[in-house]
Chain A
Amino acid sequence: SQELEQSPQSLIVQEGKNLTINCTSSKTLYGLYWYKQKYGEGLIFLMMLQKGGEEKSHEKITAKLDEKKQQSSLHITASQPSHAGIYLCGADEEGGGSNYKLTFGKGTLLTVNP
Chain B
Amino acid sequence: GAGVSQTPSNKVTEKGKYVELRCDPISGHTALYWYRQSLGQGPEFLIYFQGTGAADDSGLPNDRFFAVRPEGSVSTLKIQRTERGDSAVYLCASSLSSANTEAFFGQGTRLTVV
Tell me whether A32 is interfacial, beta carbon within 8 Å.
no
The answer to whether A43 and B105 touch across the interface, beta carbons within 8 angstroms, is yes
- Bound CA span A13–B17, Å: 44
Tell me whether B91 is interfacial, beta carbon within 8 Å.
yes
Interface residues on A, range: 20 to 34
B51-74 vs A, CB cutoff 8 Å, 1 = contact: the mask equals 000011001000000000000000
Chain A residues near B (Cβ < 8 Å): 4, 31, 35, 40-45, 48, 50, 88, 90, 93, 96-107
A41-B107, A101-B48 known; A106 vs B98 contact (CB < 8 Å): no
A8: min CB distance to chain B, Å: 14
14 of the cross-chain contacts (CB-CB < 8 Å) are A35-B105, A41-B108, A42-B104, A43-B43, A45-B102, A48-B100, A88-B43, A90-B43, A93-B45, A99-B99, A100-B31, A102-B45, A103-B45, A106-B42
Instruction: Please indicate which of the listed interface residues B43, B44, B108 has the most CB atoms of chain A within 10 Å of its own CB.
Output: B43
Tell me whether B103 is interfacial, beta carbon within 8 Å.
yes
Instruction: Please indicate which of the listed interface residues A41, A98, A106 has the most CB atoms of chain B within 10 Å of its own CB.
Output: A98
Tell me whether B82 is interfacial, beta carbon within 8 Å.
no
The answer to whether B42 and A42 touch across the interface, beta carbons within 8 angstroms, is no
B32: min CB distance to chain A, Å: 9
Taking CB atoms, residues of chain B closer than 8 Å to A97 are 99-100
A34: min CB distance to chain B, Å: 12
B51: min CB distance to chain A, Å: 13
